[in-house]
Amino acid sequence: MNDRGRCIGRSSGSMNLVASSLRRPITVIVLVIAVVLGAGLALKKMSRDIFPTLGIPTIYVAQPYGGMDPAQMEGYLTYYYEYHFLYITGIEHVESQSIQGAALLKLQFHPGTDMSQAMSETVPM
């Protein structure tokens, strides 16, 4: 402490803010009300979407084929579908999984792809 009762080495910038807020309480209240009203106005004008886009457009395909184990499914069915699905417009990524009696494929498309068109190209295969 120095001879005036203040701490040496401590910043008095935050104390000036507190002191000026205590000296002018009306100004602080007006600023708080302005911020609250501005936030309320921004929230009111913000657009709302009932069904927002939530990610990558995806189609899941399940192809049942009884009596085959996963290795046979992968060899006969999964490779065939993977190869043909790569030619669909807008396709980005194909994932597959073969389980007992079924082949499961996940087709991911580029954002903005017309999914009705992609679905119509997927169904005939």
How many angstroms separate the CA atoms of 30 and 17, rounded?
16
Q: Are residues 69 and 113 in the same domain?
A: yes
Residue 91 lies in a domain: yes
**For the chain, how many structural domains are there in total?**
2
Query: Within this chain, do residues 67 and 36 fall inside the same structural domain, yes or no?
Result: no
The answer on 72 and 23 residing in a single domain is no
What does the DSSP 8-state code read for residue 10? -
Each residue's pLDDT tens digit in the chain (125 positions)? 555 555 555 556 667 888 888 899 999 999 999 999 999 999 888 887 776 667 789 999 998 888 888 888 888 888 888 888 888 888 998 999 988 888 899 999 998 888 888 888 888 76
Domain annotation covers residue 83: yes
Question: Does residue 86 share a domain with residue 32?
Answer: no
Q: What pTM does this model have?
A: 0.54
Domain that holds residue 20: 13-45
